[in-house]
Structure 1
Amino acid sequence: MTKGRIHSMESFGSADGPGVRFLVFLQGCPMRCRYCHNPDTWRTEGGTLMDASEILDRAERFRSYWGPEGGITVSGGEALMQAEFVAELFEQAHERGINTCLDTSLAPFTREQPALATFERVMDACDLVMADIKHADPAVHKRLTGRTNENIVDCLHWLAERNQPMWIRQVLVEGYTDDDASLAQTRELIASLGESVRRVEVLPYHTLGVFKWEELGIPYTLEGVTPPSPERTQQAQAILRGEVPAPTAGAERHAARAQH
């Protein structure tokens, strides 16, 4: 029996997968996203040690509220940092007839064994992957998160090949993901994943978690970046969903920024 390091749990999630969800946030994340609103989940140590049955027993207290589409969503931090625990949690959830959703950046993905076999176990018991694409361009991705994205793109194609249901999410951040060229590049990546992508969402950048950076004594490097307007958020979402043609203006600005 594997125990997971649990950062926190929430009983009623309405924006973290279909229906009403019981949310489980795991401790630990390999990325350092500049806009992260949960930097307190970065450390791999800490959290509360719990096994899968303990979590599911607690989750099932709220099962009557889930409706036909609800269930549990595991997030983080980065849940795949504890992939063996997530596999056990999802397998036991399926034994109880509970829908499972993974909210992930896919950053830990590798085709090396035994990690790939554990990842396959997670996916075999995962009803939906909510993949958080930080940026399609590896250079800008590194500026934004501290890591490049080649293995993440590889994972997205691996998931598409097995027709794993996915929701794609991207945070719209001024100066990083909001320009036309970035949106066009992300749209191209999403289109390459085919019918496995069931939904595309744009999440507007916000500053609600900045106080956590201050409490932890971590410099916040997006000072002065403002949230996008509702109109720009809607336009970006239409571009990523392929509802309107992806603009080509701004490519030079994007290329110049990626070189920094």
Structure 2
Amino acid sequence: MEKDEAGKIGALRAREGRVHSMETMGTVDGPGTRLVVFCQGCPMRCAYCHNPDSWDPAAGSVTTAGEVLDLFERNRPFYRRGGITLSGGEPMLQPDFAAAVFALAHAAPAGRIHTCLDTSGIAFSAASPERHAALLDKCDLVLLDVKHAFDEGHRELTGKAAGNPRALGDELARRGTPVVVRHVVVPGITDDPEELAALGRLIARWDNVVGLDLLPYHTMGVGKYRALGLDYPLEGVSAQEKGAIPGLRRQVLEARAAARSDRG
């Protein structure tokens, strides 16, 4: 049995993925101080994306799940209240690699490591949930990025329909996986009272939502677009004022509370 278990761990450690970059002391992508792995590849083209160099799934560096865990273990004393976050790009594009990282984290000999998935949900499909079952089984927390509360707005903002992200939200609710919903507030696009109210009504149906982060849009990605010879989709749109965020967040929460009250 021990030999079989060692073989399973060895296979998990050897699982390869493509990684854009890694941040060894992340403090905003899950609780505590974390190792944040930015996976390569994303099918969406969000107008405010600040990492267009992460889009190509064939780019990045080939990395094994074992290498990710080894990097964590070298810095384990700094991660006592943190863990590992898989972000992107879109980590759900590489479900086998992501599942291997999280499985190793939970089975770490020096102690179980908290796992967090930062995702848009675009790679999930309700028609084939088994593709991501092993990964979702090992998620302690999910940061679900809701790009836009309306289907048409979602397609205009990202180039993709909203069905898969909504389906992932429903699946996580079914599982009871703790979720923090994230929503980037872009002036003139995702700060409209109707859109914010719709966001509140959307998350009202998910009883597993434990947090809501409204993130102010910034323009730090403009230079990267220019360096890559790309047109910046939101040219001329000003950064969102941080001072407005608490009031906008209240609008979402009030709509959520009203929807839950109506639901009984």
What's 1:163 paired with?
A: 176
SS in 2 for 1:84: helix
Matched, 1:204 2:216: yes
What's 2:36 paired with?
A: 23
State how far apart, in whole Å, the 2-side matches of 1:216 and 1:206 are. Answer: 19
Aligned-residue offset at 1:241: 3.0
What's 1:72 paired with?
A: 84
Contact 1:129 1:165 in 2 (8 A): yes
| Cα displacement string for residues 163-200 of structure 1 (whole angstroms, at most 9, x for unaligned residues) | 11101000000121101000000010011111x10110
- Among 200, 208, 225, the alignment partner of 1:213 is 225
CA change 1:185–1:25 in 2 (3 A) is same
- Among 85, 103, 106, the alignment partner of 2:118 is 103
What's 1:122 paired with?
A: 135
CA change 1:98–1:244 in 2 (3 A) is closer
Contact 2:20 2:39 in 1 (8 A): yes
What's 1:182 paired with?
A: 195
How high is the sequence identity, in percent, across the aligned residues?
43
Q: 1:213-232 residue pairs with structure 2 within 5 A?
A: 213-232=225-244
Structure 2: segments with no counterpart, 5+ residues: 1-13, 259-264
Q: How many residues align?
A: 242
What's 1:82 paired with?
A: 94
Q: Please, what TM-score do these two structures have when normalized by structure 1?
A: 0.89
Contact 1:239 1:245 in 2 (8 A): no
| Cα displacement string for residues 23-62 of structure 1 (whole angstroms, at most 9, x for unaligned residues) | 1011100100000011110001111111111111011111
Aligned-residue offset at 1:154: 1.7
State how far apart, in whole Å, the 2-side matches of 1:118 and 1:62 are. Answer: 32
Counterpart AA for 1:126: C
Aligned-residue offset at 1:233: 1.1
State how far apart, in whole Å, the 2-side matches of 1:63 and 1:236 are. Answer: 37
CA change 1:245–1:167 in 2 (3 A) is closer
Aligned-residue offset at 1:231: 2.9
State how far apart, in whole Å, the 1-side matches of 2:22 and 2:146 are. Answer: 23
Q: Please, what TM-score do these two structures have when normalized by structure 2?
A: 0.88
Q: 1:5-24 residue pairs with structure 2 within 5 A?
A: 5-24=18-37
CA change 1:118–1:221 in 2 (3 A) is same
Contact 1:10 1:23 in 2 (8 A): yes
Counterpart AA for 1:50: T
Aligned-residue offset at 1:244: 9.3
Matched, 1:54 2:67: yes
Contact 1:172 1:204 in 2 (8 A): yes
Contact 1:83 1:119 in 2 (8 A): yes
What's 1:242 paired with?
A: 254
Aligned-residue offset at 1:112: 3.2
Aligned-residue offset at 1:230: 2.5
